[in-house]
């Protein structure tokens, strides 16, 4: 946990430095007062200083007493392991695929696949229930949102799929 | 009475059939979000913003505010029946509420909670009606300098209350401000941090950001545990005994006042209101030993307080344009998306809308009372849906919600990005409320500061030239220094008393 916090602190520091550098290229001050770069500069400076303060806080807090340095088994793990980590990662990955596939395949097909994956692999839901819920939240919601609520969800970009209404 | 006349006019708007329907839908969605454990009020309200995109502004705001205070009702149901808080402000109700359920008094606990919530919500709304006039009159005296100072005070109160993690709260607050910079700058129109992406020209859309930070991150966190469903207690008779009613009167009265006052203060959350009410009731009770064993006061007080808080928190939003909590900030975002700037000018320019919405609070609270008492069985059935199905359906709605704001796949990606970030922030104990507040207030803040600077041609002393602004800024400074000192002295004491680390 301590090491992860340190990494996070450094990420914050690097982020604030990047913003600061980027804000230099914007107009800092103009004839009528502060320019677009004024706020970002001071904010990133403050964020940088705070990140340093946090890093110092972490460094000063003593590592777990009486522990051989390194990852003792009693040390709180930052990320879960095993199946828990698999579940976490697969939700993120499934969302990534959903985002990539939404335009070429359209909302309905990509959402159908997304739901099947979540329900079968992660939820271990029975196959019939899965099919009903997946169809409802893809084809069903598509109809509800486009017809009733006037929210336009994407059609497939692939002409064949679009021609059959997907 | 001017206020009463305005309110009557408001009722004529709120009682129009369309608006009644929106109040009902909002209350029902709100209760649902409160009941479902996978999703809290901030993410839930953000999730439903796309649904309101095509409504007229009055209907949209009526529905979204009803969702907001409706969640406070729904959260109670799971606290009492499952011992799982539907949202944070009802967490304290678990202690005595679930004990009551185990003793077969779940129905009575639900009734008392719903009645308390109703009275608390009503009390805070009446406070809003009578405070609206004086507060907006005061706010109309404000120029950009004073508004800037007021926003600084609001934000520093929020940071100050973050307690020992003040450094983190500050970091998050600044991060929110920096994210608010993305897009065209509000004064000159120069693009900033857009990475050449057209989608970012108008800035980061707050709906996917909030859904990611508050909704998706929760789902990711829950995914760490296995997706088991829970068993619900039986509701039983809804009618409380005479004893239970008598014991609840005091807590409900105190909870109403406490919740409303805390709602006025930026940075005070609904959970703080319910917690404070619980500890007060326990302290003044003649039989404190009953608390934790199913004392009805431990349900009545907190549930009243968190509802009074929810409606009370709308007072600073409506009169001053300052959101007091993350969910209220989401509501403010919804106002802005509808082209409305909450605050004193809205009362002058759009009284129909403002008073219509205020009147709808009365109606919404009545609807919620009905939804939560006679119809409680419907919500209990919802609880039977296993989480393994629920989380997938919530994800589907989040994808649609994020996409629907701007019809853009890019926003779904933003939601995913902030979901992962939110998950990591939770792991590191970074509070997300300051970030949301500054993300939504950022553009307004920058505009008012830069306008002030233009007025003074870059002279910072203008910030202290007006007595109101100077007073507000000095107050912020005091909040800041005292809380920083408290943290500093606290860690000192700990350091000298032996073990150094205060983190687990």
- Split at pLDDT 50, 70, 90, the class of B492 is low
pLDDT greater at residue A147 or residue B62: B62
Question: Which residues of chain B make contact with A99, given a CB cutoff of 8 A?
Answer: 409, 412-413, 416
Contact in structure between B357 and B334 (CB atoms under 8 Å): no
- Residue B166 Cα distances to B157, B170, B481, angstroms: 11, 6, 11
Q: Which DSSP string corresponds to B363-418?
A: HHHHHHHHHHTTTHHHHHHHTTS-HHHHHHHHHHHHHHHHHHHHT-HHHHHHHHHH
Asked if residue B394 is part of any domain, the answer here is: yes
Interface check for B493 against chain A (CB to CB < 8 A): the answer is no
Buried b / exposed e along B176-189 (16+ C-beta atoms within 10 A): bbbbbbbbbbbbee
Round the average pLDDT of chain B to a whole number and report it: 85
- Split at pLDDT 50, 70, 90, the class of B26 is very high
Asked if residue B503 is part of any domain, the answer here is: no
Question: How far is the C-alpha of B382 from the C-alpha of B440, rounded, in Å?
Answer: 33
Chain B window 67-106: which residues touch A at a Cβ cutoff of 8 Å? none
Asked if residue B501 is part of any domain, the answer here is: no
Asked if residue B502 is part of any domain, the answer here is: no
Interface check for B393 against chain A (CB to CB < 8 A): the answer is yes
Question: Which residues of chain A make contact with B177, given a CB cutoff of 8 A?
Answer: 39, 43
> What average pLDDT values come out for chain A (166 residues) when binned by 10 residues?
86 92 81 78 92 88 53 56 84 93 90 92 86 91 82 84 79
Interface check for A145 against chain B (CB to CB < 8 A): the answer is yes
Chain A window 73-132: which residues touch B at a Cβ cutoff of 8 Å? 76, 78-80, 83-84, 87-88, 91-92, 95-96, 98-99, 102-103, 107, 111, 114-115, 118-119, 122-125, 129
Indicate the length of chain A as a whole number.
166
- Sequence ranges of the domains in chain A: 2-60, 82-163
Question: How far is the C-alpha of B120 from the C-alpha of B257, rounded, in Å?
Answer: 8
Pairwise CB contact (< 8 Å): B181 & A40:
yes
Residue A68 confidence (pLDDT):
44
- Name the residue of chain A whose CA is nearest to B414's CA: A99
Contact in structure between B69 and B310 (CB atoms under 8 Å): yes
Place of tokens 């007493």: A65
Residue B1 confidence (pLDDT):
58
Q: In total, how many domains does chain B have? A: 1
Encoded tokens for B176: 């929110």
E strand or H helix that includes residue A38: helix A38-60
Interface check for A21 against chain B (CB to CB < 8 A): the answer is no
Question: Which residues of chain B make contact with A66, given a CB cutoff of 8 A?
Answer: none
pLDDT tens for B155-164 read 888 777 666 6
Asked if residue B421 is part of any domain, the answer here is: yes
Asked if residue B504 is part of any domain, the answer here is: no
- Residue B203 Cα distances to B195, B341, B435, angstroms: 12, 17, 15
pLDDT tens for B414-430 read 999 999 999 999 888 88
Of A47, A88, A98, the CB nearest to B171: A47
Chain B window 221-240: which residues touch A at a Cβ cutoff of 8 Å? 223-227
């Amino acid at each position: 946990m301590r090491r992860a916090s340190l990494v996070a602190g450094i990420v914050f520091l690097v982020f604030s430095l990047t913003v600061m550098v980027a804000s230099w290229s914007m107009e800092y001050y103009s004839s009528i007062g502060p320019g677009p770069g004024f706020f970002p500069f001071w904010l990133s400076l403050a964020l940088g200083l705070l990140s340093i303060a946090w890093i110092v806080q972490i460094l000063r807090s003593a590592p777990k007493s009486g522990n051989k340095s390194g990852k003792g088994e009693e040390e709180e793990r930052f990320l879960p392991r095993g199946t828990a980590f698999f579940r976490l990662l697969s939700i993120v990955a499934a969302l990534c695929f959903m985002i990539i596939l939404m335009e070429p395949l359209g909302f309905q097909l990509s959402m159908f696949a997304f739901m099947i994956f979540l329900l079968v692999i992660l939820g271990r839901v029975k196959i019939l229930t899965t099919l009903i819920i997946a169809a409802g939240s893809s084809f069903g919601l598509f109809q509800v949102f486009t017809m009733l609520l006037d929210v336009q969800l994407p059609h497939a970009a692939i002409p064949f799929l679009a021609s059959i209404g997907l | 009475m001017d206020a009463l006349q305005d309110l009557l006019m408001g009722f004529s708007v709120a009682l129009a059939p369309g608006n009644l329907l929106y109040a009902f839908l909002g209350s029902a969605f709100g209760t649902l979000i409160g009941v479902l454990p996978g999703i809290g009020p901030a993410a839930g309200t953000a999730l439903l913003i796309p649904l309101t995109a095509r409504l007229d502004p009055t209907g949209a705001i009526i529905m979204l505010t009803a969702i907001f205070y409706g969640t406070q009702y729904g959260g109670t149901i799971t606290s009492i029946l499952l011992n799982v808080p539907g949202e944070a402000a009802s967490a304290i109700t678990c202690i005595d509420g679930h004990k009551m359920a185990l003793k077969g008094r779940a129905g009575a606990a639900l009734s008392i909670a719903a009645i308390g919530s109703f009275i608390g919500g009503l009390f805070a709304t009446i406070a809003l009606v009578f405070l609206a006039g004086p507060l907006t009159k005061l706010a109309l005296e404000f120029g950009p300098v004073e508004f800037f100072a007021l926003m600084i005070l609001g934000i520093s109160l929020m940071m100050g209350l973050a307690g020992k993690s003040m450094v983190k709260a500050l970091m998050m607050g600044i991060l929110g401000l920096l994210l608010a910079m993305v897009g065209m700058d509000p004064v000159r129109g120069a693009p900033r941090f857009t990475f050449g992406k057209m989608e970012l020209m108008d800035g980061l859309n707050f709906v996917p950001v909030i859904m990611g930070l508050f909704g998706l991150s929760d789902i990711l966190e829950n995914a760490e545990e296995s997706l088991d469903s829970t068993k619900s207690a039986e509701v039983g008779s809804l009618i409380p005994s005479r004893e239970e009613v008598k014991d609840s009167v005091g807590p409900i009265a105190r909870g109403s006042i406490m919740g409303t006052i805390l709602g006025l203060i930026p940075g005070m959350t609904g959970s703080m209101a319910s917690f404070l009410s619980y500890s007060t009731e326990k302290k003044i009770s003649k039989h404190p030993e009953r608390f934790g064993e199913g004392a009805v006061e431990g349900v009545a007080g907190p549930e009243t307080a968190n509802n009074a808080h929810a409606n009370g928190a709308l007072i600073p939003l409506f009169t001053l344009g300052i959101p007091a909590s993350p969910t209220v900030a989401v509501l403010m975002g919804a106002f802005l998306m509808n082209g409305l700037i909450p605050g004193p000018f809205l009362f002058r320019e759009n009284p129909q809308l403002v008073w219509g919405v205020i009147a709808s609070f009365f109606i919404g609270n009545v609807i919620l009372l009905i939804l939560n008492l006679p119809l409680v069985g419907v919500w209990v059935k919802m609880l039977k849906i296993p989480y393994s199905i629920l989380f997938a359906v919530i994800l589907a709605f989040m994808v649609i919600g994020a996409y629907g704001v701007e019809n853009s796949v890019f926003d779904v990606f933003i939601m995913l990005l902030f979901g992962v970030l939110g998950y990591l922030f939770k792991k590191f104990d970074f509070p997300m409320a300051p970030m949301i507040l500054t993300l939504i207030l950022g553009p307004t803040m920058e505009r008012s500061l830069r306008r002030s600077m233009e007025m003074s041609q870059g002279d910072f002393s203008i910030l202290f030239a007006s007595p109101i602004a100077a007073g507000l800024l000095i107050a912020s400074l005091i909040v800041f220094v005292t809380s920083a000192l408290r943290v500093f002295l606290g860690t000192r004491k700990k350091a000298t008393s032996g073990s150094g680390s205060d983190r687990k």
